[in-house]
Structure 1
Amino acid sequence: MSDNNLANIKSAVIKMIDTEKGSLEELSLKLHANPELGYQEYKAVEWLCEYLSRHNFSIERNTGGLKTAFKATFGQGKPVIGFLAEYDALPQLGHACGHNLIATAAAGAAVAARLAAKLYGGTVCLIGTPAEELSGGKIQMVEKGVFKELEAALIAHPGNDDIATTQALACVTLNVEYFGKESHAAAHPDKGINALDAIVLAYTSLNSLRQHIEPGARIHGIITDGGKAANIVPGHSAGTFLIRSQTLPYLRELMDRVLDCFKSAAQATGARLEYRFDKSIYAPMNNNMALANLYVKNMDMLGHRTLLEDPEMNFGSTDMGNVSQVVPSLHGYYAITGKDVSGHTPEFASAACSAKGIKGALDAAKAMAMTAADLFGSSANLEKVKTEFQKSTRPSA
């Protein structure tokens, strides 16, 4: 297909999303005003499916066995290009990560990408993925094979810069509890076993460990229970900790070293330790640079000076990393705030319903749909993306 045809499709994509601006803005603000936690996003799913149904998408509910996951499809045959929607909120902060914008951008991109699928052939797929924030819904969906039919998976996240790739760390959650023995802290401290001392000692050990781990690794957490009253030797303590690393092998090494800190504190204090690592481990992001380059060119066409990658970008973790291990993936960012505003804050939640936030989501929708057109319309582009992915996931000799 000629470059001229592709240029015409991209122009049509931009025009369609401009036409849908009112509906997409309404959808985004409705999601923002009704934040729902992971696996409780029933309203979000209804509104997204309703919007996609109006544009002739077929809807599958309970995808991967998750009640608030869904798959919407349009067209038939290969290639299958997927857009991923996130729509869960944060406890107390609401949409302080901008997932209302992520869902809106995915919906807009899917509707506009139909134009390319109609012209060139293929299938547009929007997959609704719940519980990114705290539970890693995509991890379970990967295990169920939900994404295996896709030639590419695309998602765009609001942030404070325009970047086509992300530095996402492998991550696992560790929950710990210590069980000691309560006694009067003044009259009979000798009869008690202090569970608070145990977790404080373990926390101090973790602080010492941090000095001797790889620069890209992270260990952080909170104490969620430290006792009942100041005059009672605490008989119970608890905490939640996150362990992050740039690679899965080093993450597993760190898991053992962190656990040793908690075990030694139990031995030192006499408190009994119980612990549980979450089964869902967030994988590092496998950025597909061929896909990212296409996205950069399309964002540039829209007036965004988008970086291919940013070595100064802060680390985080996302279950999109798990998707990127099984299918070529794009996880781009678009700016809705200045660099002085961090995600997961009230200020970012406000930006996620601002005019700049809505415009950012609409531009991201255009760029993702145009990138899908690059894949639908050019077998050479698609082959580059596939070849790079195969090389990146090939076991080293």
Structure 2
Amino acid sequence: MKVKIIEQINHYSQDFYRISKFIGENPELGHEEFKSSEILANELKKHNFEVTLGTAGLPTAFEAVFDSGLPGPTIGYMAEYDALPEIGHACGHNLIGTMAAAAGIGLSKVLHECGGKVIVFGTPAEETKGGKVTMAELGLFDQLDVAMMVHPLNRHEKSGKSLAMDAIQFEFFGKSAHAAASPHDGINALDAVIQVFNSMNALRQHIKPDARVHGIIPEGGKAANIVPDYAVAQFYVRANERSYVNELVERLKKIAEGAALATGCAVESSFYEFSYDNMVTNENLSNAFSNSLLALGIEKGDINEKNSGSGSLDMGNVSQVVPSIHPYIQICTEPYACHTNEFREAAMSEKAQESMILGAKAMALTGLDVLTNPELLLQIKQEFKKNLN
């Protein structure tokens, strides 16, 4: 069956190249990925997947199901396809979305032999208001036995951790006045924002090493001779564990309340993007994926351990409800970082297309291992249960 999966993915590789190139050349921001989701959904329909569009009330999400009709586990693959503002697919989501679809299609070709079900989820807006957050909250992933996705990088890397994150903003409301003629009549909202940043910078000395707090001032006034009556501070708060993010957010709220009291402003807090939970890698599933890479010809020494998590992923929310992995596949040898022009160009290269096919095969073979090895699935589920406790 593994040979058949590899043959089938190779057979349709030109279709997958075409789709990846199309998505890369037509970058769409989160929740605007109509062309990208359509081309992926249509390809899955062509291979007899039952596709539901607009999943979870998200216009550019989809759920594509191939059910063997025979008993067995359910394998889930996560497709991402949103681009970044101005620099397009500089995170390689054109590869991620196509890789997930290719893995699902490859695995579907043998399901009538081994049983079970494969589902490819189209998950929009990972870079901002992650679609997986909404889908996880609505229970869409509860039907899965395992969930997988593969991300491009400049080296092969095992699935590891990511940081939990909250995106919180503080709006300060003051009173405008002429800054020269009658400053005493004004209440300066920008002063409150500056107080928040100063207090936050003092707080940095006393937070855990894994935590990160960073922010901007998207609104700070309109003219220098007008006392700003409205100002906004936005922050990302991150840490290894969700519980510590919650603690830091509460401390930041108190800082904002203190700044409001000090300046005479009113303050309102809100979350301006969805919260991401920390990624919990299932090591048994991760090892199965690494073994699939080895079987496909990757040398053991070329599969690197995951560095400590520094970013945040909505795949973290998936990993809280189903055993999950988020490994990385090498698409270039240069040390290009994600979210750069150089990485965008690398994600459109011939090397990247070949790596995309490699990642799709590895996910499909790993899915087959879960479907055909009850002992592996038991170990995966026991580990998941242990991690939740």
User: Which TM-score tier does this pair reach, normalised by the shorter chain?
Assistant: over 0.9
Pick from 112, 122, 131: which aligns with 1:118?
Answer: 112
Higher mean C-alpha deviation, range 105-114 or range 31-40? 31-40
Note if 1:327 corresponds to 2:322: yes
Query: 2:333, 2:169 → 1: CA distance?
Result: 35
Give 3-state SS (helix, strand or coil) of 1:147's partner.
helix
Give 3-state SS (helix, strand or coil) of 1:227's partner.
coil
For each residue in 1:151-178, what CA deviation from the matched residue of structure 2 results, as whole angstroms up to 9, or x when unmatched? 1111001122211213211111102211
- Find the counterpart in structure 2 of residue 191 from structure 1: 185
- Find the counterpart in structure 2 of residue 200 from structure 1: 194
- Find the counterpart in structure 2 of residue 345 from structure 1: 340
- CA 1:73/1:347 → structure 2, altered by over 3 Å: closer, same or farther? same
- Quote the offset at 1:267 in angstroms: 1.3
Query: 1:132, 1:110 → 2: CA distance?
Result: 20
For each residue in 1:277-307, what CA deviation from the matched residue of structure 2 results, as whole angstroms up to 9, or x when unmatched? 3583211111100000011111123333454
The letter of the residue matching 1:138 is K
Note if 1:236 corresponds to 2:225: no
The letter of the residue matching 2:47 is H
Q: Is the 8 A contact 2:128 2:273 kept in 1?
A: no
Q: TM-score, with normalisation over the residues of structure 1?
A: 0.93
Query: 2:51, 2:157 → 1: CA distance?
Result: 31
Aligned 1:202-217 pairs, distance under 5 A: 202-217=196-211
What's the RMSD between the two structures over aligned residues?
1.6
Give 3-state SS (helix, strand or coil) of 2:143's partner.
coil
Pick from 49, 52, 76: which aligns with 2:41?
Answer: 49
Pick from 332, 343, 350: which aligns with 1:355?
Answer: 350
The letter of the residue matching 1:155 is M
Number of residue pairs the alignment of both structures matches: 385
- Quote the offset at 1:118 in angstroms: 2.2
The letter of the residue matching 1:34 is N
Pick from 350, 361, 369: which aligns with 2:364?
Answer: 369
Q: Is the 8 A contact 2:8 2:109 kept in 1?
A: no
Q: TM-score, with normalisation over the residues of structure 2?
A: 0.95
- CA 1:339/1:213 → structure 2, altered by over 3 Å: closer, same or farther? farther
- Find the counterpart in structure 2 of residue 309 from structure 1: 305
- Find the counterpart in structure 1 of residue 83 from structure 2: 89
Gaps of 5+ in 1: 1-8
- Find the counterpart in structure 2 of residue 39 from structure 1: 31
Higher mean C-alpha deviation, range 74-83 or range 51-60? 74-83
- Quote the offset at 1:106 in angstroms: 0.3
- Find the counterpart in structure 1 of residue 7 from structure 2: 15
- Quote the offset at 1:221 in angstroms: 1.2
- Find the counterpart in structure 2 of residue 336 from structure 1: 331
Gaps of 5+ in 2: none
- Quote the offset at 1:337 in angstroms: 3.6
Pick from 164, 171, 183: which aligns with 2:165?
Answer: 171
- Quote the offset at 1:247 in angstroms: 1.1
For each residue in 1:155-206, what CA deviation from the matched residue of structure 2 results, as whole angstroms up to 9, or x when unmatched? 0011222112132111111022112222222222222221111111111111
- Find the counterpart in structure 1 of residue 138 from structure 2: 144
- Find the counterpart in structure 2 of residue 106 from structure 1: 100
Identity, % of aligned positions:
43
The letter of the residue matching 2:43 is Y
The letter of the residue matching 1:309 is E
Query: 2:190, 2:335 → 1: CA distance?
Result: 36
- CA 1:208/1:304 → structure 2, altered by over 3 Å: closer, same or farther? farther
Note if 1:72 corresponds to 2:30: no
- CA 1:172/1:49 → structure 2, altered by over 3 Å: closer, same or farther? same
Query: 1:302, 1:36 → 2: CA distance?
Result: 33
- Quote the offset at 1:338 in angstroms: 4.6
- Find the counterpart in structure 1 of residue 271 from structure 2: 277
- Find the counterpart in structure 1 of residue 18 from structure 2: 26
Q: Is the 8 A contact 2:27 2:89 kept in 1?
A: yes
Query: 1:120, 1:183 → 2: CA distance?
Result: 74
- Quote the offset at 1:339 in angstroms: 6.4
Q: Is the 8 A contact 2:128 2:274 kept in 1?
A: no
